[in-house]
Amino acid sequence: MIADEYSVPRKVLEAQPPSKQSLAALETGAIQAAESQPLSALEIAHVLSVEIAGYADLPMDQQTRLLGRLLRIVSHTKELARAQKADQLISLPTGEGLTLVFFSNPVAPVQCAFEIARAIKDHPEIKLRMGAHSGPVYRIADINANRNVAGEAITTAQRVMECGDAGHILLSKTVADTLGQLGSWAQQVHDCGECELKPGARIHLFNLYTTELGNSVLPERLCSNDLAPLQASAPVAAKAIASTAPATKKAKLPLIITLATLILAGAITAYFTMLKSAPPRPLSTSVFHEEFPNLDRWAKPASGSGWAIAKERLELKGQEEIIWVPDVYVEDFTMQFHLKLLNDGGAAWALRVQDAKNYYLFYLSGPGGLFPNRFTSYMVRNGMRNQIGAVAIVPHLEANGEYRIEISARKNEFVHRIRINNMSGEFAAEEMGRVFNLASEIEQTNAFARGSIGFLTIDKERFQVDDLDVWPPQTKPIEPELPQ
């Protein structure tokens, strides 16, 4: 009989629990052995802590299967094999995952993290969170005389990992500073700010992700910390004051006058900038209608390579920066548009847009999207996404399918529905012409009470938008009937 590759070995299952006497003798012998060995030299290690998210809530048999699969996946990563061959790795089981301690190569933990993240894409049942840190350790022998390590680097890597959610690869500032010197990695490192581990103890975190790997959403724990992100450097004015230590009152006076002048000039500039950037009055009595003959009314990213006008339709592909309409600024409203999916990735749109980095984001993911067959909503603040809802979708999306998206925004509630206009797959006969409720989301903070509308892509979506209408309740009181 061939054993299941994820099962617990028979010897482990059949082993009898040790007696109290044997445990006491074992403990005494281990303590004496440890005390008799000299402390190893302090070393700098590069640590990756890996954990199955939500492990403790799973049934025991599922825990065993998932942990077995995880260990098998990790054991096949190239970075781990390279480090083992060079005798530059010590791996430590943690109960809910494992900790990998690399020596000599500071990039090894993040390289291994990406390899693991790529491999588990074929295992959606495994939800991981990972954390990396570089710091001091001592090599020691454990109770069975096996190689082990202990020290600050292990503890900190664990705490970094615990600040994340499923999919996150978080880094300490030490690791982020190292990657920041490497062009191939620097673009994937994103500052998250501080996370409070416990009262008075904070750590500065960075999120490592690409369009395919990692989790770009701000960790939930950071969203609830209410801590301002750390600044990369002190403000210019503060630097000027700190570096200027006048020895006499005569030296202080010119500095005060200069600073006062700068502050006044800054206030004047800010005032006129505010006037210039103040949004127009909310749309109240007219309808915004767009057939996309061009994009003259739309604010477009400087790069602009991911959007185009194709047969009077807005087409987006690889457009991760938002395209939006500055002169539409609405409170309560209804919005409709025709959507054609050019692949099975899905589509994304933004509501209550304040600017290019602050808005509500809604992601309709098709079977080939980042979150297959799910409708996910976010609040985007300063370019960082915070998930506020996610539901499975009932209709079947497909490449070249055409749909009518209907949205109702009232206060802090957003109701979405989708009408199937045209599809040719196996579900066409069943779903053609039907209307499905996607989601009814309530954003508790109501951070953006009014704003514009826009479109963008999240991952590999490619889609077209046309026949777009936005109107306030007063103009068109008869709204589309929402499904029960």
Confidence of residue 313 (pLDDT cuts 50, 70, 90): very high
pLDDT at 339: 96
Q: What is the pLDDT of residue 208?
A: 94
> Is the pLDDT assigned to residue 111 strictly greater than 90?
yes
More reliable by pLDDT, 282 or 1: 282
pLDDT score recorded for residue 94: 84
The superfamily in CATH containing domain 33-223 is Nucleotide cyclase, GGDEF domain (3.30.70.1230)
Domain locations along the chain? 33-223, 237-273, 288-471
Identify the CATH class of 288-471: mainly beta
Say if residue 210's pLDDT is above 60: yes
- pLDDT (average), residues 247-259: 55
Task: Give the pLDDT confidence of 345-378 residue by residue, as tens digits.
Answer: 999 999 999 999 999 999 999 999 988 999 999 9
Instruction: Indicate whether 300 pLDDT > 90.
Output: no
Whole-structure pTM value: 0.46
pLDDT in tens, 137-157: 988 876 655 678 888 899 999
Mean pLDDT, all residues of the chain: 79
The per-residue pLDDT for 418 is 95
**Do 33-223 and 288-471 agree at the fold level?**
no
Per-residue model confidence (pLDDT) at position 304: 59
- Sign of the alpha-carbon dihedral angle for 390, 394, 399, 401: negative
Using a pLDDT cut of 70, give the percent of the chain over it: 75
Pairwise pLDDT comparison (314 vs 35), residue with the higher score: 314
Per-residue pLDDT band for 261 (boundaries 50, 70, 90) equals: low
Banded pLDDT at 336 (limits 50, 70, 90): very high
Residue 207 above 50 pLDDT? yes
Q: Specify the range with the lowest mean pLDDT, choosing from 169-173, 182-186, 307-311, 356-360.
A: 182-186
pLDDT score of 163 = 92
Section 199-204 average pLDDT: 80
Summarize the confidence of residues 24-41 as an average pLDDT: 49
pLDDT digits (tens, 9 = 90+) for 119-135: 998 888 899 999 999 99
Task: Please determine, for residue 33, whether its predicted confidence score (pLDDT) is greater than 90.
Answer: no
Q: What is the predicted pLDDT for the residue at 257?
A: 63
